[in-house]
A and B are shown apart, each in its own frame.
Chain A
């Protein structure tokens, strides 16, 4: 598949084997600039594994992933973040013993410059940078629905706020592509609806591209423009929400053979 210039990410035959297990089986996948794309599939289909290959946690056994016209296969995770890929985790992974604002500041790590000696001396430049970063962190937290409790430890925040903080932390890396791994897990219907609207708002206001893994079909159908369905590590369908809803293989994968009719 040739890298079309209007795609932010192009994955070509991405394969990951764990011993004999093929976790992702030659996945071809593209994300157009500015779109919201969903990755769905039954448990164990390889969605998170695919995520982890985009973010450099796993190195694919073979295949290529081109992000923003740069090959990311083989790059360490922090270098991929620097290129502009921010992510959240399926199982919240905040720095529990750091405050909310510190979590966001860690997200800004690769966008800040303060060095060792300049930090010890606290040069005017470092002071200014730190002050600016804190201000931006507060804005981001508020933007993500955490107007208060910035100085509280992430581990002591309620579940919903932890989810919001994860998004704020991911946005702090100034991403071009935001990867959300089951962002609405554990949320009630109301929170889920609010979050769905929020994802669209973030995409529009921050000029982002979003890729999300999601189990909640209401979210998937409501927010995404393209959907890719994985089963046993392979792409079984790809299309708009309407196409996917009508696709027999997808229904089969989710509900089993014979129920498709």
Chain B
């Protein structure tokens, strides 16, 4: 990228264009439920157009991928246990908007009729509460683990990602003497979103209503993440990703800054979890396996670590393949007379995609501006170490003199 392209006029044109693009995409996304049937009626490609309900799931996963991107992409902390936050959000909704605690009857702004037992808090409020609750979980997990660096951090987060689903599977009457999560059955039904007597789930176009809500939540997530990226905190995250020691020596408090990235990533995971559990009308432990964490990480890597637009694209593409795409492709393949079912090999296929990406486009589909520089101009070709100190490579070593 040349100097001219980055400065002044040219970059402003580019910014304008990207805003037009964003506006167009948002408009298209908003009318999607209206035009989806027309699209599906198109010859050949019509079969590949996802249903609105599938779109909701894709959006939820994309939202989580963008949350994970704050941790992995911005702050450079490899988190392999993000599913824990997803679960925390979903169970928060389960506790506050279902029959789970039938002994208590507590209603607050809920769409459910007042005589129903259990805790029923307004689902909208729960979205926010789940975010905050998950944020606290994130801080609690983060405080002991974020002292670790690199691979060690990844391994410990992996552990937490395993502990949480095991815990929810076992935290019932037999397991802990108190039915917290209803064990392997999960918590169902969880209340629907709604306004007053207008309950989404009872509407004929319930998928459309959830879809628009998901779009709103995703836009909120994207907005927050862009604003944070360009803030004082965002700069500190990227500085930590670039060189932790130098960041600390410039006055960035490492623990606090890392913990915030974890907490903010967790927040969006929690909101997404609560929303999804309302959409599915339940929180089931089988939804919170370890492979979800990896799947989300694949979205981030495929799209481009640190790049919001990239992760949006990566999330939607992998989300689509997961929920409909592979099955559709599979049926096409079988129609053609081949006995091959790609859904059986889905993680093999995602793994293959990641390997191909790493070989040919390691910075992702839509790379973060910064990474693109590294790839095009080869930042690390210039010597960072002191050429005069007998040419010894002292790049990462502080103890030399």
Which 6 interchain pairs have the tightest Cβ spacing? A119-B231, A81-B251, A155-B379, A110-B251, A97-B370, A95-B242
Taking CB as reference atom, which chain A residue is nearest B11?
A: A151
B174-210: contact bitstring with A at CB < 8 Å (1 yes, 0 no)? 0000000000000000000000000000000000000
A89-124: contact bitstring with B at CB < 8 Å (1 yes, 0 no)? 111111111100010011101111010100110100
Q: Give the residues in chain B near A149, CB-CB below 8 Å.
A: 3
Known: A45-B401, A95-B246, A155-B374. A185 touches B235 (CB 8 A): no
Shortest CB–CB separation between residue B302 and chain A, in angstroms? 20
Q: Which of A49, A102, A106 has the most CB of B within 10 A?
A: A106
- Decide if B389 touches A97 in the complex (CB within 8 Å): no
**Does B12 count as interface, using CB distance less than 8 angstroms?**
no
Q: Give the residues in chain B near A94, CB-CB below 8 Å.
A: 243, 246
Shortest CB–CB separation between residue B139 and chain A, in angstroms? 13
Taking CB as reference atom, which chain A residue is nearest B377?
A: A156
Task: Give chain B's interface secondary structure class.
Answer: helix
Give CA–CA (A65, B247) in the complex, Å.
Answer: 22
Known: A98-B238, A119-B232, A153-B373. A93 touches B243 (CB 8 A): yes
Q: Which of B3, B247, B248, B385 has the most CB of A within 10 A?
A: B248
- Report which of A18, A112, A120, A155 forms a contact with B373, defined as CB distance below 8 A: A155
**Does B6 count as interface, using CB distance less than 8 angstroms?**
yes
Give CA–CA (A90, B3) in the complex, Å.
Answer: 29
- Decide if A95 touches B238 in the complex (CB within 8 Å): yes
Interface residues on chain B, number (Cβ under 8 Å): 51
Q: Give the residues in chain A near B380, CB-CB below 8 Å.
A: 96, 155
- Decide if B252 touches A93 in the complex (CB within 8 Å): no
Q: Give the residues in chain B near A152, CB-CB below 8 Å.
A: 3, 6
Q: Add 11 more A-B contacts to A43-B390, A89-B249, A90-B400 (CB < 8 A).
A: A77-B248, A95-B243, A97-B373, A98-B235, A98-B242, A106-B239, A111-B251, A116-B260, A126-B231, A153-B373, A173-B251
Known: A98-B370, A155-B379. A120 touches B401 (CB 8 A): no
- Report which of B228, B235, B386, B401 forms a contact with A44, defined as CB distance below 8 A: B401
Taking CB as reference atom, which chain B residue is nearest A102?
A: B235
Known: A114-B232, A116-B260, A119-B228. A52 touches B250 (CB 8 A): no
Known: A106-B250, A155-B373. A114 touches B7 (CB 8 A): no
Q: Which of B227, B235, B379, B394 has the most CB of A within 10 A?
A: B235
Q: List 17 A-B contacts (CB under 8 A).
A: A57-B249, A76-B254, A78-B254, A87-B249, A90-B389, A91-B385, A93-B243, A94-B246, A97-B370, A109-B252, A110-B252, A114-B233, A116-B228, A153-B373, A155-B373, A156-B382, A186-B387
